[in-house]
Structure 1
Amino acid sequence: MDDTPRKPPTRAVENGMVGVGAVLVFDGKGGVVRHEPGDGMPAVPARGFKLVCGNSRSPEFKVWLKAELGVFNADLLTVPSTRSRCTVIDDKAMIVLRVARPGAEPEDIGRQLLSLWIEKGRVIIASELNILDFLGLSKWESSHHAPVSPADLVARLGLRAADRLEPLVERLGDRLDEIEESLIVQNTSRAQGKLSHLRRTLISFRRLVWPQRDVLNTLEIEDLSHFTARDRLRLREASARSARLGDELQALSERAVLVHEQIIDARAEQMNRTMLILAAVTVVFMPLTLLTGALGMNVSGIPFADNPHAFWTVCAALFLLSLGIIWWMRGRRWL
């Protein structure tokens, strides 16, 4: 069986409608039009740009990418990556963002890759995400508030990614609050396990947020000729949003360290209290043990050996001695 990807139809190649994707044309004034596979060649306004979305796993889309961008650039766009990054080639840029999947949990956010190719008048997105739902296309069409430039589109993608992460970060904060409350009731054993799991999750989130901030910062400062001052401002705003999430994660990490120190202090205090009790018991019973050992020697001359009331007399004396030792220790504030 021949597994060689078949070349898509010419009409589909012209439209960019390859794989399971879509073509959107932005007029640069807030308007957007979606073109279907059967439509003619989309005309891009002078101030606008075209967005081509495709599935990064689609063989037909990969063939189209290689024809449009070359084999090397197409592979950069479709090969899975473990980190967000920004690469500038001549007057073009290739961006990789990692986005949390919808309905994700803090323990399993299910990162999904979002790869973009940016050039003057065109943006190509290769991802397994439902890009149209992720972007909120229906709202743009109804409100006439679509991106006006490729950089504006990237900034909004960064904001959408931050929107998905923000409730997860808030949930992590709530869990840290619950751990702190459990420490109030001295339940340190359960708090330790939950805190360790939370700290691992925070590290994972920081690895996701900080590179995204760096990507937006890098794109902002790069000398791309088709970026305007407004574009750079939008990218700076999106970067600041990611930076705020990173700061919240950093604050949660610092709080987690403080909570960990509280757990250690609570355990140390409990251990000290236990050792104090054991030491007090030892101090009380040491002289009692000495006396009973002396009276229990199997030699002649033991006092009161023939007295029938000697046993209870000695017990009473030992009891009074133990009370005296306890009173003395309390007077020294050792108990």
Structure 2
Amino acid sequence: MDDTPREPPTRAMQNGMIGVGAVLIFDGKGGVVRIEPTAETPRIPPRGFKLVCGNSKAPEFKVWLKEELGVFNADLLTVPSTRSRCTVIEDRAMVVMRVARPGAEPDDMGRQLLTLWIEKGRVIIASELNILDFLGLTKWEASHHAPVSPADLVARLGLRAADRLEPLVERLGDRLDEIEESLIIQNTSRAQGKLSHLRRTLISFRRIVWPQRDVLNTLEIEDLSHFSPRDRMRLREASARSARLGDELQALSERAVLVHEQIIDARAEQMNHTMMVLAAVTVVFMPLTLLTGALGMNVSGIPFSDNPHAFWVVCAALFGMSLGIIWWMRRRRWL
């Protein structure tokens, strides 16, 4: 076995997934410059800020976080969380967001955590997600349209997260349409299983979207001195985007409830029809059974017992009686 240590992939090192992380300098006017983590940090423009992003599980990045923020705050950034949240500590904020993995399916989104430390002039992101590709750094460098403030960066992260969820929500809507079509052709047994699975998926999606909306709302209303009115407007726009997704999920959930009621009504109608047929059969055969039971008694005096044609006469009478009962039930609109 070859024990020679291997060099980490160049792409992973460039994206900050291995080692201390990636460092970006934003000039506050739409420009962005990338520098090496080990290089001396250039002077940050008055309106600009610095972004440091790295892998939350990389040992080197964890050590750097503890040196920069302290053990307690570093643990807040790297310890996995189950829900999105926003925590304000003096004039700084820690934001936890959940993002769907690239190419995820509605049944298995493979959610990733995105933890941000926001303070005046600096943002730190700890995540296993490839942040630079997620944000589209190459496009920013080419278009000179990078975030102009930390709040603008957070808002764009929220919009990117919503962008990944939107096609998945559309697929859920398509699945619900298919279930409704299957109900039209009376395939209720198959639709019931699909609907149950869809409703569980909708619950899982709402656990992502609604807390994320609350995170952006909380960050907007918090009294952070380095947030401008424009920053709060950008956060409000990102929150509104998440709210729209949440409203769409709520609408799908309500449609799913209506479809479930349709399935129950269809099954109840089918059961009522079955019970009506059984009741009609009972009503038809009950007098016939009474008559044949009376004629079948083993006692003397049974009418027509000596007539060789009596059996066929009785059968014809029973048949005519059954037709008469059916006609009477139809006239009463019981059938």
What amino acid is aligned across from residue 24 of structure 2 in structure 1? L
Once residues 89 and 42 of structure 1 are traced to their aligned partners in structure 2, the CA distance between those partners, rounded to angstroms, is 27
Find out whether 1:250 has 2:243 as its counterpart. no
- 1:17 Cα deviation after fit: 10
Aligned position for 2:222: 222
Matched pairs, number: 320
Find out whether 1:82 has 2:82 as its counterpart. yes
Is the contact made by 1:17 and 1:23 (CA closer than 8 Å) also made in structure 2?
no
Once residues 218 and 52 of structure 1 are traced to their aligned partners in structure 2, the CA distance between those partners, rounded to angstroms, is 23
Aligned position for 1:155: 155
Once residues 220 and 68 of structure 1 are traced to their aligned partners in structure 2, the CA distance between those partners, rounded to angstroms, is 26
Is the contact made by 1:18 and 1:64 (CA closer than 8 Å) also made in structure 2?
no
Identity %: 89
SS in 2 for 1:114: strand
SS in 2 for 1:328: helix
Once residues 40 and 21 of structure 1 are traced to their aligned partners in structure 2, the CA distance between those partners, rounded to angstroms, is 14
What amino acid is aligned across from residue 120 of structure 1 in structure 2? K
- 1:224 Cα deviation after fit: 0.4
Q: Could you tell me which runs of 5 or more consecutive residues in structure 2 were left unpaired when the two chains were aligned.
A: 1-15
- 1:44 Cα deviation after fit: 1.3
Is the contact made by 2:152 and 2:231 (CA closer than 8 Å) also made in structure 1?
yes
What amino acid is aligned across from residue 160 of structure 1 in structure 2? R
Find out whether 1:62 has 2:62 as its counterpart. yes
- 1:195 Cα deviation after fit: 0.4
- 1:21 Cα deviation after fit: 2.4
Find out whether 1:236 has 2:236 as its counterpart. yes
1:263-282 to 2 correspondence within 5 Å? 263-282=263-282
Is the contact made by 1:151 and 1:231 (CA closer than 8 Å) also made in structure 2?
yes
* Cα distance change on mapping 1:223 and 1:208 into 2, 3 Å: same
* Cα distance change on mapping 1:251 and 1:123 into 2, 3 Å: same
Once residues 17 and 180 of structure 1 are traced to their aligned partners in structure 2, the CA distance between those partners, rounded to angstroms, is 45
Aligned position for 2:31: 31
Deviation digits for residues 270-295 of structure 1, max 9, x if unmatched? 00000000000000000100110000
Output the TM-score relative to the length of structure 2: 0.94
Aligned position for 1:260: 260
Once residues 138 and 182 of structure 2 are traced to their aligned partners in structure 1, the CA distance between those partners, rounded to angstroms, is 45
- 1:19 Cα deviation after fit: 2.1
Once residues 202 and 212 of structure 1 are traced to their aligned partners in structure 2, the CA distance between those partners, rounded to angstroms, is 15
Deviation digits for residues 115-144 of structure 1, max 9, x if unmatched? 000001100000000000000011111111
* Cα distance change on mapping 1:123 and 1:131 into 2, 3 Å: same
SS in 1 for 2:97: strand
Find out whether 1:53 has 2:53 as its counterpart. yes
Aligned position for 1:3: none
SS in 2 for 1:52: strand
Aligned position for 1:7: none
- 1:38 Cα deviation after fit: 5.8
Deviation digits for residues 57-76 of structure 1, max 9, x if unmatched? 01111111011001110000
SS in 2 for 1:292: helix
1:103-142 to 2 correspondence within 5 Å? 103-142=103-142
Aligned position for 2:208: 208
SS in 1 for 2:73: helix
Output the TM-score relative to the length of structure 1: 0.94
Deviation digits for residues 219-240 of structure 1, max 9, x if unmatched? 0000000000000000000000
Aligned position for 1:304: 304
- Taking only aligned residues, the RMSD between alpha carbons, in angstroms, comes to 1.2
After TM superposition, the structure 1 stretch with the greater mean CA deviation from structure 2, 33-42 or 111-120, is 33-42
Is the contact made by 1:17 and 1:36 (CA closer than 8 Å) also made in structure 2?
no
Is the contact made by 2:17 and 2:128 (CA closer than 8 Å) also made in structure 1?
no
Aligned position for 1:329: 329
Aligned position for 2:21: 21
Aligned position for 2:11: none
Q: Could you tell me which runs of 5 or more consecutive residues in structure 1 were left unpaired when the two chains were aligned.
A: 1-15
Once residues 42 and 209 of structure 2 are traced to their aligned partners in structure 1, the CA distance between those partners, rounded to angstroms, is 36
Once residues 110 and 94 of structure 1 are traced to their aligned partners in structure 2, the CA distance between those partners, rounded to angstroms, is 23
